[in-house]
Every structure is written in C-alpha cells, then in structure tokens.
A and B are shown apart, each in its own frame.
Chain A
Amino acid sequence: MNFLTTEGLPRNDLEEILDLADEFTQVLSRPIPRVPALQGKLVANLFFESSTRTRLSFERAARALSADVMSFSASGSSLSKGESLKDTVLTIEAMGVDLMVVRHRATGAPWRIAGWTRCQIINAGDGAHQHPTQAMLDALTLRRRFGDLDGLRVAIVGDIRHSRVARSNVFALTTLGARVVLVAPRTLQPVDCEGWPVETTDDLDAVVGAVDAAYLLRIQTERGGASVFPSLPEYVSRYGMTRDRFARLPADAVVLHPGPMNRGVEIDDVVAGHPRALILDQVTNGVAVRMAILFRLLGGR
C-alpha cells in the first residue's frame, strides 16, 4: 500500500487518518513521546528536492514510532555522479528498506518509484502535483480548531497553478465536506479546473469577508523571472493577507500557511504572529499526521 495522492481517497479513509492522528497527538504530549509500534522497520527519506520541514517532520514521526530512519538529500548524492533515479532507488531498497518517503521535483516520480520497488511509498511532494501529507495536516489543523469540516468555507490564495499543496488540499478538504474557493490572478490559476469541486475567483476582497479559513500559499519569488504577475507590490496589494484584509475576515476565521513564509509578501508580519494564524499548529500536527500515515502503512494492521 502507498500514500500518493488525496484525489479519489474516500472520506472514510481520510477520517480514519485524522482520528489516528488525534491519538498520536496524545502520544506526542507524553513525557516520553514514543511508542514501539514500528520497532525494527526501516524508513528511508528520499528527498530529491531540498526540504527542511517536511524531511524533519517525517524523521520525527518515524522515530516517535520507534522506526529506524535513513535520510537522503539530492545534493552530494549518487545522482550527481550520473546514476539514474531508478538505480538509486533500487540501491537503497537493497539495504532492507520497508518504506520510502519521496520528494521529487518531477510530477509522478513517486508513482514511477512505486512501480520499480516493492517498498511502500509515501509521496512527500511531486512537482506541482500532490503533497498529500500536507493536506492531511491542514485538515487536522482545521478539524481540531472547528471540530468538523462540514460546510467550512476555505479560500486557498496564491500560486494555485504551481502548487502541489493546493491540489492536495482541494481534494482532501472537499471530500471532508469543506467548500473551497481558489483565489488567484488568471496567471496563477490552473488553466482548466473542469471537474475540480471548487469555485475560482481573482478577487480576494470579494470573498475575504465570508470565509472561515484563508490558506495562503507561498509566492515563489524565485519565479519572478517568469512574469506571472507584474511585481511583488502589485501582488501584495491584491492578494496579500495584509493587516487590513485580516481585519475584514470574520471574527473567528483563521489563517494557514504551508511554509516557508515570505513575510510581507503573501502574509503580513503581524498577521503571521497573530493567535488566529495557525501556522505553528500546522507544523505540530504534521508530526502526528505523518505518524498516523506511517502506522497505517507499516503497522501490520
């Protein structure tokens, strides 16, 4: 069994993961936050694209379940010596790995790897396609805050077109009952959202007064050369979660961000530190959700 995408996952499965994550949240608050559930299992973190938070979060989750962990990042690896992805993966599998956590900049890489090995695979982000554990930790964060996602109004704001976080959240959150609106200029919206269970708009101010959660995506400032919008200040003025816009959110609405943040771009510095910005809760919940997913795949249920 693998965990590759949120698209098509039944509500039941998503809720079981969240329920299990709630239990692991209890484990993580104990004086010795560790259970022997995955003792003797070997998890390999294969990060072919650089990442700090996701890799550390998976390491923390695996160790809290008493699994052994090996981590790999692309820089300084055999890939730089010309070894193919397939040979790299088969080499690591041959060391006795049970499960691989894979991040790769190419869409579908975790599916390709799943076809090459007998290991179980967790997708930790492929291209702009899917990042399903991120969506699960976001769902957990919202559920713990609001009790239930049914009817919850969520705006996902920013570079939807190039965001695996957005794609995973669209399917996870709507399956769990939330209503999702995608907010972005045309150049950052997907070209064709036919079949997506969402609404789309390019006008953040039109929806900001009527959402329970504003999910701000990282603007990849390094993409500036691709001219997806005229300038950062122009983006901030129309799509940034400024103090002014934050004040116009409903009184109990929350702000999420997958990190790493560009303070002063997609999110104002003060907003990022506000109690209704749940950004660090997301990080904490990420460990519990990843424990739940690792346990479901490796726990011998």
Chain B
Amino acid sequence: MSGIVLTGGGVLTPRGEVRADVLIEGGRVAAVGPHLEGTGARAGRQVIDVSGLVVGPGFVDLHVHLREPGHEWKEDITSGSQAAAAGGFTAVVAMPNTDPPTDSGHLARYISDRGRQAGLVTVIPAGCVTMGMQGLRLSHLDDLFDAGVRIFTDDGVTVADSGLLRRAMEYLQSRGGVIAQHAEDSGLGRGGHMHEGRVSSLLGMGGIPAEAETVIVARDLAVAEMTGAAYHVQHISCAGTLELIEAARRRGVNVTAEVTPHHLWFSEEQVLSMDPVAKMYPPLRTPADIEALRDGLREGVIDAVATDHAPHAAHEKDVPFEEAPKGVTGLETAFSAVRTVLDPDPRLLFERMSVTPATIASLDGHGNWIEPGIPANLVVVDWHERWTPEVFLSKSANCLFAGVPLAGRVRFTILDGRLTHDSARLDMPALSQGPGGLR
C-alpha cells in the first residue's frame, strides 16, 4: 500500500479545526490542505471520503488490562489490540498486573513485542512499583525504564508503605518516570464490594467509602511534594479527590489524573440490579460525584480519560455480585461514551483522550494535532452517528455500555499510516475476524 488520502474532513490542526484533505505517506502525514484527492488517485493511494467526519490524533489510553501473559482466557494482546483499534486508540498503556506481573525489563519487552506483532495499536507496558506487586521491595525500576516503561504502578492494589512509595518516587524522579496509584486504603475499604452509602446500606453489602480514595491521594500528594516526583492518580471516582488535586497543583505539585467513562456516566444506583457487570474498583459513586467528575474533566482538573478496560470471561461474572471479579471493559465504547455524556467541543475531547495522555505517557509519536511531518497515528470519528454497542472485538463483553444508545462513533483508525479499523467492515463480521482482517 502506498498511502492514504482522507478527503473532505474537519481536521484538527494546531491552529484549530480546518476543512482539508490529509495525505498520509510513509507512515507520516505528508500534507494537509485542499484538493489533495487528485494526488491520491494518480499515485494509486487509497482515497477515503471523510466529509462530515472529524480527523484527529489517535486516542491514547493510559489504563488498560490486556491480560497477557497469564490470563489469556479473558483477553490477549491481539484481541485487546483489536478492541483498542475499534475504539480509535493508537496507543494503550498495559497495566502490569499480569501473571507474572511486569516487574522487570524482559517482561516489559515481551508485552511491547507482542503488541508490535499484533500490529493494531502501540502497546506500552506499565511496570510494577514493587516486585510481584507485593508492596515489599522495589521492582527493577531502571531495567523497566530502559525497556520503555514510563508509568509505574501496582494497579489493582495500592502501594501502602509510605516509605517505599517515597523511595520509588525519589528513584524515578531523576529519570522522568511517573508513579501512578490505584488509591484505596485497605482499612477503610475492607470487606467492600461497592460504594459505601445509601445503596450499600439498603443491600446490606460491604462498602468502600470515598474516603478510602482521598486518604491515599492526600498522603501521596504530600510524598510527591516532598520528592518532586511526577504523580498520577488513576481512575478518580469522587469529588473529594478533585479538591485535593486542585489544592496540590496550586502548591506546584506535579500531579495528573485520569477518569473512566463509566465513572462519568453511572452511579451506585447501577448496583441495585445486583448484576456483577456493575462491579469495579473504585466503585461507581453518587450523582454528586459524577457531576464533579464531569466538571473536573471539562475544566482540566482531570487531565485524561482512561478506560481501565478490565475484561473478564462471561462465566466469571455469572455469579453473585460479591463473588464476582472487579472490572468492566471500555476500549470500544470510550469515545462514544465521553462524546455522549459530556457533549464537548471536539478539541476538548481530543485533548483529554489523546494529546494530554500522550504527554503523560511520554509518547512523542501520538497525541499530535494534525500537521505535515507527524507520525500518522490518527482517528476519524463521526461526531453524530447514533449506535448501540452490542457485540465486541474484545474477548470479553462485561461492558456497562452494552445496550446503551450512544452518540458519536469511531469510523477509521490509522496506525503508522495503516488502516487498523474501519467501522463499515465491523458491520460485516466475516471481514473483522483476526488481526490481519483489516490490513
């Protein structure tokens, strides 16, 4: 294939949205401007009419669980990459809670290699903060960094030992790594399966109060301030955390934060069905928290949307709520969910779903506004198409947005100048089988 020409779209350039054609060649954006269609036809390039659609930088997800190695019945790097491409993502950060956990460089390299083999999305491994995520001693931080890891986390569990956290922050601060925390105090959250409040009281279910998150974030911010390290709060779930982040930023603390589409949309009420698809940590909280999270994302207190895509096999979720594993999938619905619930200006959405997360993850080749010379990691979205997610490319379907009518849909995804997703093909199942199906 010798290039692609996208014609007639609204292109998000550094100077704002411009109606233009985009010429992609050699894995890069070669030209942005009017009347490039002719150049495409002459040179045998693939010409795609994207008039009425928006062309922007491919989405970057700071938080996915691809489950490989170790839990391939839930997802693997190939199926997770397919799901990511279908969601408009060109880069994803794979959480290290695999089996074995990603606590040394060779494991990190395995994950990025498997991502390259699948060839549908850039897979960046996150590394453990502590060996085996045991919270006892530091993982091979330098080794991981040299293998390309920039985000360090024991996601799923909190780094509880403040002294250990301090040492990790000090160690990574000089190299430029980011400590990302799953913030949940084990004492306050003990025995909890959902948000502690009105609904948990009615159901007699053990709860995780919002303060389980805020006490950890407050401590971490103090340690980040002490060390000068970059600190990232994963999947913020409550209003209290936003206040802490704002106050810390005013003091100059280097803190960033992410929120998931499901925390922007659903509340604790979702658990009244007692269907385990609504089980994840941190849990869905109150309508007031949802409002605060939406405002925080609009105003930039929250930097990024991240999915926390956490696939589980159907039989694992087909149990009583308290016995179910935690997590929901989200790669294939993230854009549409954020577009629907926030109804943002396109530029704002792309900042939160592409530009800023790429910066947090130190990904130079992603999250660039469209202009000649940038690597061709792009997404084309229909801002208005209405659709209802029902089938998924992920191996798992534990998605809260299944059956929920959404506005806005990913039409094409382009990685390194290659088409990795075409929603029209998705509607023809035979063509969407296998990672090579779209190439």
In the complex, are the beta carbons of A191 and B204 less than 8 A apart?
A: no
Report yes or no: B200 in contact with A111, Cβ–Cβ below 8 A. no
Partner of A107 from B205, B315, B318, B319 at Cβ < 8 Å: B205
Q: Interface-forming stretch among A14-22, A70-78, A192-200, A262-270?
A: A192-200
**Complex contacts, B207 vs chain A, CB 8 Å:** 191
- A residues within 8 A CB of B200? 191-192
With contacts A84-B315, A192-B198 taken as known, whether A129 is within 8 angstroms of B204 at the C-beta atoms is yes
Contact of B197 with A by CB under 8 A = yes
Docked complex: B185-200 residues within 8 A CB-CB of A: 196-198, 200
Bound form: Cα–Cα A112–B322 in Å: 12
Could you tell me which residues of chain B, from 364 to 412, have a CB within 8 Å of some CB in chain A? none
Flag if B205 contacts A128 (CB, 8 Å): yes
Q: Are A108 and B203 in contact (CB under 8 A)?
A: yes
Whole-angstrom distance between the alpha carbons of A164 and B204 in the complex?
7
> Do residues B204 and A192 form an inter-chain contact, with CB atoms below 8 A?
no
Verify A107–B197 contact, CB threshold 8 A.
no
* Given A191-B201, A192-B201, residue A106 in contact with residue B318 (CB < 8 A): no
How many of A's residues come within 8 Å of B, CB to CB? 27
Chain A residues whose CB sits within 8 angstroms of the CB of B322 once the complex forms: 106-108, 127
Name the distance in Å between B254's Cβ and chain A's nearest Cβ.
35
Residue B247 interfacial (CB < 8 Å): no
A84 touches B319 (CB 8 A): yes
Cβ-based interface call for A85 (8 A): yes
Interface centre among A106, A108, A127 (most CB of B within 10 A): A108
Given A107-B204, A128-B205, A129-B203, check contact A191 B196 (CB 8 Å).
yes
Q: Is A86 an interface residue (CB 8 A)?
A: yes
Cα of A191 to Cα of B191 in the assembled complex, Å: 14
B274 to chain A: closest residue by CB: A108
For the complex formed, measure the closest distance between the CB of A72 and the CB atoms of chain B, giving whole angstroms: 17
Q: Is the CB of B198 within 8 A of A195?
A: yes
Contact present for A111 and B318 (CB under 8 Å): no
Interface string of A176-210 (1 = CB under 8 A from B): 00000000000000111111100000000000000
Is A162 an interface residue when CB atoms closer than 8 A count as contact?
Answer: yes
Instruction: Tell me if B321 is interfacial: C-beta within 8 Å of chain A.
Output: yes
Task: Write out the residue numbers on chain A whose beta carbons fall within 8 Å of the beta carbon of B72.
Answer: none
CB of B197 within 8 A of CB of A192, answer: yes
Contact of A167 among B204, B209, B274 (CB under 8 A): B204
Set of chain A residues within 8 Å of B205, measured between Cβ atoms:
107, 127-129
Q: Cβ of A104 < 8 Å from any Cβ of B? A: yes
Complex-state Cα separation, A86 to B203, whole angstroms: 21
Determine if B323 is an interface residue (Cβ-Cβ < 8 Å). Answer: yes
For the complex, give the distance between the alpha carbons of A192 and B200 in Å. 8
Residues of chain A lying within 8 A (CB to CB) of residue B318: 84, 86, 112
- Chain A binding surface, main DSSP class: loop
Please tell me which one of the listed residues A112, A128, A193, A194 contacts residue B204 in the complex, with CB atoms under 8 A apart: A128
Give the chain B neighbours of A192 by CB distance below 8 A.
196-198, 200-201
B190's closest neighbor in chain A, by CB?
A: A226
B320 at the interface (CB under 8 A from A): yes
CB contact between A112 and one of B201, B315, B320 (< 8 Å): that residue = B320
Q: List residues 287-326 of chain B with CB under 8 A from any CB of chain A.
A: 315, 318-323
* Contact flags A109-130 to B (C-beta < 8 A → 1, else 0): 1011000000000000001111
Chain B min CB distance to A227 (Å): 11
Task: Report chain A residues within 8 Å CB of B197.
Answer: 191-192
Q: Are A108 and B321 in contact (CB under 8 A)?
A: yes
Which residues of B sit under 8 angstroms from A191, Cβ to Cβ?
196-197, 200-201, 207, 209
A109 touches B320 (CB 8 A): yes
Q: Could you say which residues of chain A place their CB within 8 Å of the CB of B202?
A: 7, 167, 190, 195-196
- Contact check, B274 vs A111: say whether CB atoms are below 8 A apart: yes
In the complex, which residues of chain A have a beta carbon less than 8 angstroms from the beta carbon of B196?
191-192
> A163 to chain B: which residues have CB within 8 Å?
204
Min Cβ gap A172→B in Å is 15
For B209, list chain A residues within 8 Å (CB).
191
Chain B's nearest CB lies how many Å from the CB of A121? 13
A107-B274 in contact given A84-B318, A84-B319, A85-B319 (Cβ < 8 Å): yes
A107 touches B198 (CB 8 A): no
Q: How far is the CB of B191 from chain A (nearest CB, A)?
A: 8
In the complex, how many angstroms separate the beta carbon of A118 from the nearest chain B beta carbon? 17
Q: Which of A229-251 contact B (CB under 8 A)?
A: none
Assembled-state Cα–Cα distance A167/B315 (Å):
30
- Determine the distance from Cα of A163 to Cα of B203 in the docked complex, in whole angstroms: 10
Complex CA distance for A192 and B201, rounded to whole angstroms:
6
The interface residues of chain B lying within 8 Å CB-to-CB of A161 are: 201, 204
Contacts of A195 in B (CB 8 A): 198, 202
Query: Which of B200, B315, B320 is most buried by chain A, counting CB atoms within 10 A of its CB?
Result: B320
| A293 to B: closest C-beta gap in Å | 21
Q: A107 to B201, Cβ gap below 8 A?
A: no
Residue of A nearest to B207 (CB): A191
Q: How far is the CB of A9 from chain B (nearest CB, A)?
A: 15
A112-B203 in contact given A107-B274, A191-B196, A195-B198 (Cβ < 8 Å): no
4 tightest Cβ-Cβ pairs between the two chains A and B: A108-B274, A128-B204, A106-B320, A190-B201
Known: A127-B203, A163-B204. 16 other contacts (CB 8 A): A85-B320, A86-B318, A107-B321, A108-B274, A108-B320, A108-B321, A111-B274, A112-B319, A167-B204, A191-B196, A191-B197, A191-B201, A191-B207, A192-B201, A193-B201, A194-B198
- Measured CB to CB, the residues of B under 8 A from A are 196-198, 200-205, 207, 209, 274, 315, 318-323
Instruction: Enumerate 9 A-B pairs (CB-CB under 8 Å) in ascending A order.
Output: A84-B318, A85-B323, A86-B319, A106-B320, A127-B204, A127-B322, A129-B203, A192-B201, A196-B202
